[in-house]
Structure 1
Amino acid sequence: MTTSEETTTIPAQRADGVGEALLEVRGLRVVFDGFVAISGIDFTVKRGELRFLIGPNGAGKTTLVDVITGLTKPAAGSVRFAGTELVGRREYRIVKLGIGRTFQTATVFEDLTVLENIDLAASFRIPVPKLFLRRKGISDPVAQVLETTQLAELADRKAGILSHGQRQWLEIGMLLAQDPQLLLLDEPVAGMTKDERERTGVLLQQIAEERTVVVIEHDMEFLRRFASVVTVLHEGKVLTEGTVAEVQADPRVQEVYLGRKKEDDESGGAAAAALGLEVTP
């Protein structure tokens, strides 16, 4: 297993590379004080995918992303990104390789404007000596991010007064400004209005035309509307994966969301109904 901290350059994604494996997780195992949070996960994401990751609370979704981004060290297993081993690398090294992540609560600089937040995020791509040679005005990459996220009209507004949905779009924009190949988004539409969720889904589809996106999500209506490939985690393992229709038809998914103990989890019935599973009284 490669654990070198030396800088590695990941080849830029090519249009004809769509469909090739970008992220490969094999035999992943994570243990916290004797509790097995992840048990032997194998997980592959192809270039250009908009992959949704779902499962009950405690299924291991966030822990999996924590391992990919270097926040959590696994007890065993391999995580390869474009052929480069990530296990053993520090978080900032993984970011530089081309992986960006959001958390459930948007993290932005509230006292800075939308433009300043995105410009600051973009600066992480620039070698320190060149920071002092930057031209005044909005750079082309920053302008493109503002256009993509539809935040151009809010460029001079302080982030602290943005709506919840706008803050989420700003955080996604800050990731895009760092030019990642892979975006890992944790519940990006939580707390959004219906219109904001729709706009976010369209944004993610647009991003996936040039990059790869993995979304942890509990909003099943959103998943049904925008997911192409879904991976279901349960008790630290991959339960199944496939299209929304295939996942709906899988009896194991029905058992997880509609099992005999569904009365013990009120959210389970609601999630099952949203996923299109038949809920019986």
Structure 2
Amino acid sequence: MGREPELLLETRGLSRHFGGLTAVDGVDFQLRRGEVRALIGPNGAGKTTFVSLLSGRIRPSAGAIAFEGRDVTRLKAHARVARGIAYTFQITSVFQALSARENVMLAVQRRLTRGLFGPSHASLAAEADSALARVGLAGRADEASGNLSYGHQRLLEVAMGLGMRPRLLILDEPTQGLSDEEVAAFIALIRELSESATVLLIEHNMHVVMGLADRITVLDRGRVLAEGAPEAIRADEAVQRAYLGG
């Protein structure tokens, strides 16, 4: 038997309250290195709040978060990026007037700049072009980001995430607005990426979820409703009632 992959990220009793609303309610969660995990659930289930807690965009009301065995519960978002956690919603507020290449260059620069001397413009551009090519936007590198379609802006966000070379890449609705052909290319990209990074994605496209995820976590009303392989989640009656329309 092969050894089980090591634990990359873990939460214990993670909660977030907004006034009288509990958006995330005592979630225990484990993510193993090299895994592609899908996070699904009905609208208002707490998915975006949960990944915002993981990335440091918001602070938990209770509970703890460990990444690579170290407590990161109180680390700010930029410190988590430096540790290798990239959340596309967080790092990719796309600058509409800049080109696609320039947006990715900013993400690459954020990773590489240390001390007094940063990377050269040429090296930044070369790495940005490589990331854009991986997501199918090589031909749009010089185009102003604001002129890209919504779907292509989502792919630009993924390219910016790739520019961070994260150990954990968190994607929020990455296939929204993509054509069927682009969705197929995205699935292939994530399969390739999973060889060097762990991927956690919020996704409503069940074709993508069932075809891509190693495991699925279902949230409902801020709690984990179910967790398991795609086949088990598809057959789960509670999941069908809450989310899949069963």
- TM-score, normalised to structure 1's length? 0.79
Cα deviation for residue 254 of structure 1 reads: 2.4
Gaps of 5+ in 1: 1-15, 258-270, 273-278
Question: Which of 87, 106, 130 is equivalent to 2:117?
Answer: 130
Q: Contact 1:18 / 1:47 at 8 angstroms: preserved in 2?
A: no
Match of 2:150 in 1: 164
Determine helix, strand or coil for the equivalent of 1:233.
strand
**Is 1:213 equivalent to 2:214 in the alignment?**
no
**Amino acid across the alignment from 2:229:** T
Cα pair distance change 1:155/1:146, threshold 3 Å: same
The CA distance in 2 between the partners of 1:56 and 1:78, in whole Å, is 25
Q: Per-residue displacement from partner, 1:137-184 (whole Å, max 9, x unpaired)?
A: 655533432332232232222222222222111111111111211111
**What fraction of aligned residue pairs are identical, expressed as a percent?**
38
Match of 2:179 in 1: 193
- Give the alignment of 1:219-234 within 5 angstroms: 219-234=205-220
Match of 2:77 in 1: 91
**Is 1:21 equivalent to 2:40 in the alignment?**
no
The CA distance in 2 between the partners of 1:162 and 1:18, in whole Å, is 42
Question: Which of 29, 36, 39 is equivalent to 2:25?
Answer: 39
- TM-score, normalised to structure 2's length? 0.90
Q: Contact 2:109 / 2:124 at 8 angstroms: preserved in 1?
A: no
The CA distance in 2 between the partners of 1:204 and 1:252, in whole Å, is 29
Of 107-116 and 78-87, deviating more is 107-116
Determine helix, strand or coil for the equivalent of 2:175.
coil
Q: Contact 1:17 / 1:47 at 8 angstroms: preserved in 2?
A: no
Determine helix, strand or coil for the equivalent of 2:23.
strand
Match of 2:66 in 1: 80
How many residues were matched structurally? 243
Match of 2:165 in 1: 179
Match of 1:58 in 2: 44
Q: Per-residue displacement from partner, 1:103-142 (whole Å, max 9, x unpaired)?
A: 39x63222222221111211112125212x6264655533
Match of 2:103 in 1: 117
